[in-house]
Chain A
Amino acid sequence: MKFLPPGLRAIRRIYAAFFFALFLLLLWRSDFAHLQGYDVGLFLELDPLTALAAALTSGTLYRGLALALLVVILTLFLGRFFCSWICPLGILNQIISHLFTFTRPADDYKQNRYQALFRVKYYLLAALLVMALFGVLQIGLLDPIAVLTRSFVTGLWPALQWQGAGFYLTQPYFLGGAAIAVMLLAIVLANRFMTRFWCRVLCPLGALLGVLSWRPLLRIRRNVDRCTDCHKCLRYCQGGCDPDGALRVSECHLCMNCLEQCPEGALHFGWGEPRSSVAAPLDVSRRRLVESALTAALFVPLLRSSYSVAGTPHPAMIRPPGSLPEEPFLARCIKCAACMRVCPTNVLQPALLEGGVEALWTPILLNRLGYCEHHCVLCGHVCPTGAIRPLLVAEKIGEVNATAGNKAEPIKLGTAFFDHGRCLPWAMHTPCIVCEEVCPTAPKAIWYKKVEMADRQGQKIVLKQPYVEPSLCIGCGICENKCPVADQAAIRVTSVGESRSEQNKMILGSGRSGS
């Protein structure tokens, strides 16, 4: 039996399977029990769109985002290989369209032909990058890796757990998780309408890679003499890149399906050969491009002038420990929800509009769902863009040198306040002080006074009534989380006093600069 080396399509399929599995594996390993030095943010870091947009808004290429350079450089030589070989959303779309497209072959030829609709993604990219140029980072709404990570973290995996998958210890819940996952479901279902509709028409990362594939050295090439114009190459073409004519290099994902389909062996991937067909240039309308850019530029002052925590604090906008001040935070957060995945208590939640339009789906703490674990700093270590700084535990709890007993200011997320009308010892003559018990700081920020008083019957009782010491409170929210008043806790944390803000203060002299 003659040994046949695997074709490029088979190799692509192996890569695709590997990277898709790797994506799921890393996402699964992103928790306290399994993190063991894996680069769980690998896919977010490989994403050139994240790197470019965050570099535009923050002025830096942060840590792991440098990996995106690898993809950029390879794309300059090879074209848009990322989309079918590495991108987990692209691979998912590919699998779905392969399995669930029931069109007749004749229709395949029609729908896999390049269409002017495909230009839309370039206009979206232009709009998002122009906004980033003016400091507004909204790339996370449409970046495929962010979309996929966010949908898995806040929607699909909690749903799987609910079905009994069992990889969480307790069922996670996310604010609006279903609504977030609907976006992914829509992307997946769109494959029924058109093969890889998302990748061809909407994906801004695909568009960026398309621009970078402006002039690749290696590409699909067709020998015009061997080609009999049967168009069979179109049958399974994923990119809609016209391999039967002048190849639209910016649309070709290097899926290699056309190579296998060609009965004449007229197609090859590689260097130019004599009689190779030409490639078609990037097809965009300059006028539409300028229109998109201008519209985005007009949108910037509109966003910047609407309410945001950067100007006026909001009690519910409690950010994870190590979060940058709101303005640089929003200039970095891509709403990927990696922090929400790694958070052990489920306290990190995607914000709705309480922090302003720009802050949609950025992480906040909802202390009824969880609390910030005193010695946990995982969120900052998985944040791909540095919106949350990677803290050391000692830095977070304010213990610079544990052995020498040096104390520094701990990271504060907010401050706890008692609601005397709901607190059992304050309002109901009932002993409690669970809040004092769970308070993690040493000395405790929650303390109590023993008070002797008469109850309704005139009986003498002794109660411990709790207080908060604002200089010690770090706003971790465990008091609120464990408060037995189940609906609205009798002690609640609000964002005031948070370390990251110079404005959101109440006590004189509590700012970093003494303000």
Chain B
Amino acid sequence: MDEQHESEVTEKGRKRRHGSRLNQVEEPWSRRRFLREVALSGGLASGVAVLGYLGYSREAIRPKQQEVLTLRDFRVPADSHHATLAVARGEQVEAMVREAVQLLGGIGRFVQRGDTVLLKPNVGWDRQPEQAANTNPQVVAAVAQLCREAGAKQVWVTDCSINDPRRSFNRSGIEAAAQQVGAQVRFPGSSDFVATDMQGTVLKVWPVLRYFHQTDKVINLPVVKQHSLSGCTLAMKNWYGVLGGQRNRLHQNIHPSIVDLAAAVRPTLTVVDATRVLQRNGPSGGSLEDVKRENTIVAGLDEVALDSWALGLLGLTSSQVPYLAMAEQRGLGKVEWRSLHWQERQVG
């Protein structure tokens, strides 16, 4: 700066220890310089003041409108030509699944070309298929295969497991079964949940697996098991698996919670796995002695009727399971499944 003053530095002939730069002289403060400096500092100061004004808040957190989603109704229109509940008995799992779905009108009634279909089996536990704590992998594979045949763009398989999800999907055989037919397992990662209004009497806003907001169709694939608190875990209770968060608190009011879940998630189709039934020590099981072969698949559109039908396999009656009557009262279905259009077939 100010090179012209360089020569004046030694005007008095003194020796400078620190070199000439230290005695450089400021540019004189002309009016123009003064105005420039004041404008610069004043401009900065005004900028700071404006920023401060814009940022000022008497509230520690600015109220933010959080978007809360609700779940879509995945059901298809009613059709009186076909059964509402179909039972298939036999040895061949795939054939039974095909037959049961055929009785309801065929997979084409439920899945259209280009659909994304989400399968929700029960994959709660790090258990092997024979232990019957999870849905039979052959049932998952058969339903996924049907969806592929109907032209589904993607078939996803998901659940919020109670044990480690990777171990549960692996040891239940469901991961391998899904991969074999070209379905994808969607694991529940900690960032895979979105706040969702369940609009229930007990359940309000809960974190729900995001895949349920991203799919066109939902197929419920529960397994029939005994449960120490609710008596049984069937189609309606299978919706526990959509929730994240502290869902262990639902046990404090389990029957209304099950009804709230079933009212919030209305699936396209339900295929109940009763090939093996865990009779005791549920819902986790572990001993093959507690497992009974039933070789049955029940498909249907009314979860209340399906649950009511499946109670017989556990030696229960509908009066022992309060959520069924509560669900009927809410208009979710019929406890008396015989009053519906139902069919039964022996396969093979």
Identify the A interface with B (CB < 8 A).
55, 58-63, 66, 69, 72-73, 76-77, 215-217, 221, 224-225, 227-229, 242, 244-246, 271-279, 324, 328, 332, 385-387, 389, 503, 505-509, 511, 513-515
> Please, how many angstroms separate the alpha-carbon atoms of A495 and B236 in the complex?
34
Q: Which residue of B lies closest to A502 (CB)?
A: B245
Q: Are A60 and B49 in contact, CB atoms less than 8 angstroms apart?
A: no
Report if A215-B40 is in contact (Cβ < 8 Å); known contacts: A229-B14, A507-B252, A514-B204. Answer: yes
Given that A76-B41, A278-B1, A508-B250 are known contacts, is A225 also in contact with B11, CB under 8 Å in the complex? yes
Q: Contact partner of A271 among B29, B202, B249, B250, CB < 8 A?
A: B29
- CB-CB under 8 A from B205, the residues of chain A are 511, 513-515
B252 touches A63 (CB 8 A): no
The distance in angstroms between the C-alpha atoms of A385 and B61, with both chains bound, is 11
* Complex CA distance for A513 and B11, rounded to whole angstroms: 81
Interfacial chain B residues near A242, Cβ < 8 Å: 22
* A63 x B22 contact (CB < 8 A): no
A514 to B257, CA, bound (A): 12
B58 part of interface (Cβ distance < 8 Å): yes
Whether A225 lies near B12 (C-beta < 8 A) is: yes
Residues of B within 8 A of A244 (CB): 22
* B residues in contact with A328, CB < 8 Å: 60-61
Nearest A-chain residue to B22, judged by Cβ? A245
For A513, the chain B residues whose CB sits under 8 A away are: 195, 204-205
Selected contact of A508 from candidates B33, B34, B202, CB within 8 Å: B202
Q: Is the interface of A mostly helix, strand, loop or mixed?
A: loop
Q: A229-B17, A509-B204 are in contact. List 12 more A-B contacts (CB 8 A).
A: A60-B61, A61-B57, A66-B52, A72-B48, A217-B41, A245-B23, A246-B22, A246-B24, A328-B60, A386-B60, A507-B249, A515-B205
* CA A63 to CA B58, docked complex, whole Å: 5
Complex interface residues of chain B between 17 and 34 (CB less than 8 A to chain A): 17-18, 21-29, 33-34
Q: Which residue of B lies closest to A512 (CB)?
A: B205
- Contact partner of A60 among B23, B62, B245, CB < 8 A? B62
Q: Residue of A at shortest CB range from B2? A: A278
Contact A503 B56 (CB under 8 A): no
Please give, as numbers and ranges, the residues of chain B lying within 8 Å of A275 by CB-CB distance. Answer: 25
Q: Which residues from A are CB-within-8-Å of B14? A: 228-229
Expressed in whole angstroms, the minimum distance between the Cβ of B299 and any Cβ of chain A is 33
A sample of 19 inter-chain contacts (CB < 8 A) reads A61-B55, A72-B48, A215-B37, A217-B37, A217-B41, A225-B11, A245-B22, A246-B22, A272-B26, A276-B25, A276-B26, A277-B22, A386-B61, A503-B245, A505-B246, A505-B249, A507-B252, A513-B204, A515-B206
Docked CA distance A62–B52 (Å): 10
Task: Tell me which of B25, B27, B28, B61 contacts A324 (CB under 8 A).
Answer: B61
Contacts of A76 in B (CB 8 A): 41, 44-45, 48
- B residues in contact with A217, CB < 8 Å: 37-38, 41
CB proximity to A under 8 Å, residues B292-344:
none
Query: Which of chain B's residues have a CB closer than 8 A to the CB of A215?
Result: 37, 40-41
Nearest residue in B to A387 (C-beta to C-beta)?
B60
Which residues on B sit within 8 Å (CB–CB) of A228?
A: 14
Which residues of chain B come closer than 8 Å to A245, judged between CB atoms? 18, 21-23
Residues A77 and B25 in contact in the complex (CB < 8 Å), given A328-B61, A514-B204: no
Closest to A226 in B: B12
Among B16, B28, B52, the residue within 8 A (CB) of A274 is B28
A513 and B246 CA atoms in complex are apart in Å by 13
Q: Is B176 interfacial (CB 8 A cutoff)?
A: no
B74 to chain A, nearest CB (A): 23
Binding site for A on B (CB under 8 A): 1-2, 9, 11-12, 14, 16-18, 21-29, 33-34, 37-38, 40-41, 44-45, 48-49, 52, 55-62, 195, 202-206, 245-246, 249-250, 252-253, 257
Q: Is the CB of B24 within 8 A of A389?
A: no
What CA separation (Å) do A483 and B44 show in the bound complex?
59
Cross-chain contact B44 with A60 (CB below 8 angstroms): no
> B29, B37, B60, B252: which has the most chain A beta carbons within 10 Å?
B60
Q: Give the distance in Å from the alpha carbon of A509 to the alpha carbon of B198 in the complex.
A: 13
Knowing A61-B56, A216-B41, A505-B249, the reply to whether A73 touches B48 (Cβ < 8 A) is: yes
Among A61, A272, A332, the residue within 8 A (CB) of B28 is: A272
Distance to closest chain B CB from A12 (angstroms): 22
Contact B29 A324 (CB under 8 A): no
List 6 A-B pairs, minimum CB-CB distance, nearest first: A514-B204, A386-B60, A245-B22, A513-B205, A60-B57, A61-B55
User: What's the least CB distance linking A465 to chain B, in Å?
Assistant: 23
Contacts of B203 in A (CB 8 A): 514-515
Given A61-B56, A76-B41, A387-B60, verify A503-B246 contact (CB < 8 Å). Answer: yes
Q: How far, in angstroms, from A275 to B38 measured CA to CA in the complex?
A: 21
**Interchain CA distance A508-B198 in the complex, whole Å:** 14
Determine if B23 and A277 form an interchain contact, defined as CB atoms under 8 angstroms apart. yes
Question: Would you give the shortest CB distance from A388 to chain B, in whole angstroms?
Answer: 8
Chain B: CB-nearest residue to A390: B60
Name B27's closest neighbour in chain A (CB-CB): A272
The distance from the CB of B185 to the nearest CB of chain A, in whole angstroms, is 25
B41 engages A277 (CB within 8 Å): no
Cβ distance B71 to chain A, nearest Cβ, rounded Å: 16
How far does the alpha carbon of A225 sit from the alpha carbon of B34 in the complex, in Å? Answer: 23
A78 to B206: give the CA distance in the assembly, Å: 55
Pairwise interchain contact A73-B12, C-beta atoms closer than 8 A:
no
Q: Is the CB of B252 within 8 A of A324?
A: no
Residues of chain B lying within 8 A (CB to CB) of residue A324: 60-61
Q: Closest approach, in angstroms, between the C-beta of A328 and any C-beta of chain B?
A: 6
A221 to chain B: closest residue by CB: B26
Q: Name B23's closest neighbour in chain A (CB-CB).
A: A224
Instruction: Report Cα–Cα, A224/B16, bound state, in Å.
Output: 11
Measured CB to CB, the closest approach of chain B to A2, in angstroms, equals 31
**A277 with B56: in contact, given A77-B45, A225-B11 (CB under 8 Å)?**
no
Task: Give, as a whole number of angstroms, the nearest-CB distance from A327 to chain B.
Answer: 11
**How many Å lie between the Cα of A38 and that of B58 in the bound state?**
18
Q: Contact between A509 and B202 (Cβ–Cβ < 8 Å)?
A: yes
Distance between Cα atoms of A59 and B61 in the complex (Å): 9
Complex Cα distance, B26 from A245, in Å, reads 12
Contact in complex: B49, A69 (CB < 8 Å): yes
- B34 — which chain A residues lie within 8 A by C-beta? 271
Residue in B11, B33, B55, B206 whose Cβ sees the most chain A Cβ within 10 Å: B55
Which of B17, B25, B37, B48 touches A277 (beta carbons < 8 Å)?
B25
